[in-house]
Amino acid sequence: MLVKLNNMKTLDLYKFVFKNNIEYHWHDGDVILMINNYLLNEWNKLLGVGITDEEGLSCVMKDGYFCFHMKEICEYFDIEMNEVFEEEK
């Protein structure tokens, strides 16, 4: 059983994404968030340790950034993705 040691809220995620001008894209009902390397410490603090216990989080490492699928993360924190991320047109 995962214990939430940080309780990230919708507003916390929204501020992190838009304050840092983080690129994201909708893909098959999920959002792929592309976090620059220099923001990883701040991202880890926002997530807390509970979500990374047990199996951790899957991501893809690219040149200069990491890609995270947000559906699992948002579900864990009870955040509605469409309240943070605008759907692409």
Using N-to-C axis directions, what is the helix angle for 40-47 and 10-19, rounded to 10°?
170
Domain range annotation of the chain: 23-80
Look up residue 34 and give its two tokens.
């592309």
Centre a 10 Å sphere on the Cβ of residue 50 and count the other Cβ atoms it contains.
15
Verdict on whether the full-model pTM lies above 0.75? yes
Q: Comparing C-alpha atoms, which of 80, 8, 66 is closest to residue 36? A: 66
DSSP for 58-73 reads --EEETTEEEEEHHHH
- How does pLDDT run across 1-33, given as a tens digit for each residue? 444 456 889 999 999 999 999 999 999 999 999
